[in-house]
Amino acid sequence: MSHGHGTTVLRNRLRESTSPYLLQHAAQPVDWWSWCPAAIEDARRRDVPIFLSIGYSTCYWCHVMARESFDSPEIAAVMNRHFVSIKVDREERPDVDEVFMTACQVFTRLTEGRPSGGWPLSAFLEPRTLRPFFVGTYFPPTPAHGRASFLQVLSALADAWESRRGEVIGQSTHLGDLVESELADLPRSADLADDLLARAVDSLLSIEDREHGGFGGAPKFPQPVFLRLLEAGAVDRPAVAGAIERALDGMSLGGLHDHVGGGMHRYAVDATWTVPHFEKMLYDQGQLAVALAASLARTGDPDRARTLERMLAWMLEEMRVPGGAFASALDAEVDAREGASYLWTPEEVASRLREAGRGDLLASMPAALGLDRPANFRDPHHPDDPPAWVLRLSERPDRLAARQGRSLDEVHEALDETAAILLAARRRRPQPGRDDKVIAGWNGLAITGLASGAATLGGRGGRFLDAAVEVAESLLRSHWRDGVLWRLPNGPRGFLEDHALLAEGLVALGRELRRRRDPRADGFLANARAIADAAEVRFGDARGGGWFDAEAGQGDLFVRARRIDDGAVPSGAGTLMLVLLDLAALQGDRGLLDRVERALAWTSGAIAANPLGACLSVIAADRLRRLAPARSLRRQPSAEDAPPVRARLEPAAPLSGRAGDAEATIVVEIDPPHHVNAHVPGEDGLLGLEVRPGSPALEVEASYPPGDLYRERLRVHAREVRVPVRLRRRDASPARLEVIVQPCTDRFCLPPLRLEVLVP
């Protein structure tokens, strides 16, 4: 098989995929493989590194790097000569993406001082262990903005592999250990205080953008799990309810909201929610529908009802695929122009309104949509393109109505008529591509959103409940077969998040149907229970509690991840805890609380260390405490709690029970992925390695090695450190040494340890 410009072989390989993302690369001059045992074996046989490129079909920057680098014969020739290149669709294999995105965050934290990541993800792997030794994201075709070109990166890493192989392997070992720490290690157990939820809410309020709504600055993501945390916390507190409403107002008024077609884009590039990154992801719509429905149920706000109804209607109209379920995403670009189908000019809007015979709307609607202000969008990749406008509301419709002396219904009607006219015009433009993958977990989020909308929209919600039933029945037919849940109808098998999110959707649907006395409720709840039970079998941790993200026995990953962090897609673990709590209440099975208790106890240290990173787990802990106050939320100590650092003396008896002097070595063994600070760590306030007498009769002088450089300025020891010592014993009485260390991983530090070493 040729590893040059093997176009025919290449096309056959990627054309066998069902992934729209992989198919986008099928005609490139790169000798691409999909992620499979044959690709890994080819790298081992050729003795070359693996270049792993992870992305998804609707990713704008993935398209940019594809055009700039992967379409280039010159760059492809270097890739084909020195690497085995593999493409992965992160939406098909979230387990692969999770491992190497974590590696990217760890690597950039080490090299740049702060973690970063994104797509396309570019990772270079040692082929035998599949551990990464260099990780980044987008690389330009020529050096730009202080970033090396992709060709420079390829050439430098190929040279390092050939001439400094030992360094490369050593770096892959170290980086792999740190990734294992991030994904598989849990901090020691901790008490989950009664006020954990309240403290998490207060922490979240401290980072609220009170001016524009939402949390943090640019880029600004919807972060619906934060809104869920606030709803579970204390919505009777004005500060909490205000934070929710300001966030939803910011999204609903801003350009994040598609004011023409409905639905929300993936995130805003600015802090004001004005200019979106134009992808539309199914998982955002489902979660934000829940947030809008909760706000509507609490406030009765008509504008929330309008935004929610338009979002759900957009899902039904634009995202349904044959069979009744939902596609995964819409692309960010059209004809290599980001957001091209969503942008407007004042002249075009005026022309479309006049053509439709609604020139009367020109008196109010252009200004309401921000068209009386300067243009807010310039394409950085096409600076010669004329400026354009992302539509956004200048103020809430109720305030607009009051200022114009009209009713809110009249303003909503004018907005809806304007949107319908512009949507008809927009549909005549080239349309963004749609990724038609039907992902089990993401459809579970959509079912939850539809059921929540149906519960709060009153008579207008009936069609959304019908749609939720259709989606659920479709998923149960196509993805849940013979007791096995599939992420996609044609594979791979479902991950923990698929089981948890689909079960959650079925619970939400079953609850709403039960409220309406619909006999179909029990069937959906029974399927939710069966899927939750399957997750326990497939992903449960038999050692203690909780769940892994992927099944055991995957030889293509060097670590089996178990995370509780909630990101753009909620964590499988946190979601499954809430599903079990719901089922316990709906089905009267208190035994399900045992699973939640074990999971919380086993992950209590991680939850306590970062409550805002584990919002759903915090909510689950609070709900369990309210349901069963006597249950423990702390993991019980076990044999596996043995300290990860040990110390011994070589030779074991240097003084042989006598007084006098002797030279020896303290050997400190450190279990990966831990490390300990060197004697002089390089930063004030850190506890360094120290050897000192533990008995009055003993004196010791230690010669401490300097340690390895870590995070640019710190000095640490990993795996093993040998400390030469000179011992002096005044008499023959028993004596001991003390070795003081503080074990840390890249994520957390354990309490300092005092290790005793006997001197016979």
Which CATH number belongs to the domain containing residue 725 in this structure? Answer: 2.60.40.1250
| 404 and 364 Cβ atoms separated by less than 8 Å | yes
Whether residues 152 and 201 fall in one domain: no
Whether residues 109 and 137 fall in one domain: yes
Give 44's contacts (C-beta < 8 A, 6+ positions apart).
127, 128
Residue 120 lies in a domain: yes
How confident is the chain (760 residues) per 10-residue block, as mean pLDDT? 41 81 94 95 97 95 95 96 97 96 92 88 97 96 88 96 95 93 82 91 94 94 97 90 97 98 96 95 98 97 97 98 96 90 97 96 95 92 90 96 94 97 97 96 98 96 97 98 95 96 98 97 97 95 87 89 93 98 93 93 89 96 90 59 84 80 92 88 81 88 89 81 92 84 75 83
Residue 189 lies in a domain: no
Residue-level pLDDT at 654:
84
Domain that holds residue 717: 642-759
When divided into structural domains, the chain yields a total of: 4
Residue-level pLDDT at 752:
79
Residue 658 lies in a domain: yes
Residue 327 lies in a domain: yes
- Per the listing, tokens 């004042």 go with 346
Give 357's contacts (C-beta < 8 A, 6+ positions apart).
none
Whether residues 160 and 211 fall in one domain: no
Whether residues 282 and 425 fall in one domain: no
Whether residues 200 and 171 fall in one domain: no
| 550 and 557 Cβ atoms separated by less than 8 Å | yes
Of 384, 407, 431, the residue at which a domain comes to its end is 431
Round to whole Å and give the CA distance between 406 and 394.
16
- For 468, which DSSP code? H
Whether residues 481 and 528 fall in one domain: yes
Whether residues 464 and 421 fall in one domain: no
- For 67, which DSSP code? I
CA count, 13 A, side-chain hemisphere, 757: 29
- For 66, which DSSP code? I
Residue-level pLDDT at 557:
93
End-to-end CA distance of the chain: 65
Of 164, 184, 204, the residue at which a domain comes to its end is 184
Residue-level pLDDT at 463:
97
Give 8's contacts (C-beta < 8 A, 6+ positions apart).
none
| 674 and 717 Cβ atoms separated by less than 8 Å | no
Whether residues 309 and 374 fall in one domain: no
Residue 635 lies in a domain: no
Of 573, 603, 627, the residue at which a domain comes to its end is 627
Whether residues 656 and 522 fall in one domain: no
| 349 and 422 Cβ atoms separated by less than 8 Å | yes
Residue 2 lies in a domain: no
CATH of the domain at 216: 1.50.10.10
Whether residues 229 and 281 fall in one domain: yes
Round to whole Å and give the CA distance between 351 and 366.
11
Query: Which one, of 481, 597, 590, 507, lies nearest residue 544 by Cα?
Result: 597
Give 709's contacts (C-beta < 8 A, 6+ positions apart).
715
Sign of the torsion formed by the C-alpha atoms of 550, 553, 557 and 561? positive
Whether residues 442 and 296 fall in one domain: yes
Query: Which one, of 428, 586, 411, 579, lies nearest residue 512 by Cα?
Result: 586
Round to whole Å and give the CA distance between 141 and 103.
23
Residue 450 lies in a domain: yes
Residue 312 lies in a domain: yes
Round to whole Å and give the CA distance between 228 and 715.
41
| 260 and 247 Cβ atoms separated by less than 8 Å | no
Query: Which one, of 92, 98, 87, lies nearest residue 32 by Cα?
Result: 87
Whether residues 446 and 411 fall in one domain: no
